[in-house]
Amino acid sequence: MVGPGGLFGRIAQWLANEVIVKGLANNPTFQRFAVRSSQKASDLSKNATEAAKTISESESLAQFRRESQQLKQQANDFASALREEIQDAVRKAGNDSRNLRK
């Protein structure tokens, strides 16, 4: 069972709550503050979502750059090896033609 102090406290809390809620609900300044706060919270949420998307895209772009650098290096290595093979083949063909002349 609730004692007399507990009941009085609950009544006082209810009255204070009613006065505060009704007072703020009817206060134009508080209403403007509530609308601006809500709009700011919405804008912050939208900006956070856009920032997360940008970060994700940036990470994808960074991954693409890393992979393209690796592919570029592999293509350069292949081109160097091919050049060396062609030069060796030309040298060998030159030597073979000299040997045929003799």
End-to-end CA distance of the chain: 124
What is the pLDDT at residue 101?
A: 64
pLDDT greater than 80 at residue 4 = no
Q: What is the pLDDT of residue 42?
A: 93
Residue 27 — left, alpha, or beta (φ > 0 → left; ψ -120 to 50 → alpha)?
Answer: beta
Q: What is the spatial distance between Cα 35 and Cα 40, in angstroms, rounded to a whole number?
A: 9
pLDDT digits (tens, 9 = 90+) for 38-95: 999 999 999 999 998 888 888 888 888 899 999 999 999 999 999 999 999 988 887 7
Q: CB of 70 within 8 A of CB of 64?
A: no
pLDDT of residue 96: 67
Cα Rg of the chain (Å, integer): 40
pLDDT band (50, 70, 90) for residue 16? confident
Under DSSP, is residue 30 helix (H, G, I), strand (E, B) or coil?
helix
For the chain, which residues make up each domain, given as ranges? 4-101
The pTM assigned to this predicted structure is 0.44
- Give yes or no for a contact between 10 and 2, defined as CB atoms under 8 angstroms apart: yes
